[in-house]
Amino acid sequence: MFELDSAIFLWINASASSAAWVLTLARFASETLPQWLVAACAGALLAAGPRVRIAVVRVLLAMVLAWLCARGIKALLPMPRPFMLGLGTAWLPHAGSAGFPSSHASVAFAFAVAVAMQTPRRIGAWAALAMATLIAWSRISLGLHFPFDVAAGAVLGTVCGWAVVRLVMPRADPSLQPTPAAPHP
């Protein structure tokens, strides 16, 4: 398993011969895009109507839950990052902390799934999922995570996003309520 993970990592990790736009896009996706997503949530929380505010609270709760779960798993299973093993090139400075699961991927997919489950337009769902995928890819491209770290983060974020929307805060929105069964005569 480790050999396959390492091989995929080395294929995706940017090298000195990678196009400049690849590194620019990866840095943007890893450093700036997550901040923009949080800022968009904050703006919507302040400026939108009550239904959107409820949806944004769910998104933010999903993101916090994903981050907390990722941190807990990292504490329990301290797996090294690629650069700690001398693999590939790390394009951003990063502490030698545990890499499994990727917190960036966890939070990004929690955001994407919570948005996708609540948006009335498919384009919004696809855009959120595309941004999460871009963030996840960037972590491998920049040499900070193995693909397995990112995949685990994506699964964790998906579960957290789904759980918050369907289980933690379902009563805040009547459209998410189950339809009561008709009484039996």
- Helical residues (DSSP H) of 48-146, grouped into ranges: 50-76, 103-118, 122-141
Tokens at residue 170, please? 């379902």
Residue 184 domain flag: no
Name all contacts of 53-57 with Cβ < 8 Å and 24+ positions apart: 54/169, 54/172, 54/173, 55/114, 55/115, 55/118, 55/173, 57/169, 57/172
Q: Contact, 158 vs 113, CB < 8 A?
A: yes
C-alpha to C-alpha distance for 182 and 132, rounded to whole angstroms: 41
Dihedral sign, CA of 140, 143, 149, 154? negative
Q: 75 lies in which domain range? A: 2-90+98-172
Structural domains in the chain (count): 1
Would you say residue 181 has pLDDT above 80? no
Q: Which two tokens stand for residue 174?
A: 């009547």
Q: 140 in a domain, yes or no?
A: yes
Least confident range from 57-61, 99-103, 113-117, 180-184: namely 180-184
85-118 pLDDT, tens per residue?
888 888 888 887 888 999 999 999 999 999 999 9
> With bands split at pLDDT 50, 70 and 90, how would you rate the model's confidence at 20?
very high
Which among 80, 105, 107, 94 is positioned nearest to 5, based on CA atoms?
80
Q: Would 183 be classed as within a structural domain?
A: no
pLDDT higher than 80, residue 179: no
Question: Which residue is associated with the tokens 């799934």?
Answer: 113
Is residue 179 one of the residues assigned to a domain?
A: no
Calculate what percentage of the chain has a pLDDT beyond 90: 59
> Looking at residue 131, what is its pLDDT?
96
Whole-model pTM: value is: 0.86
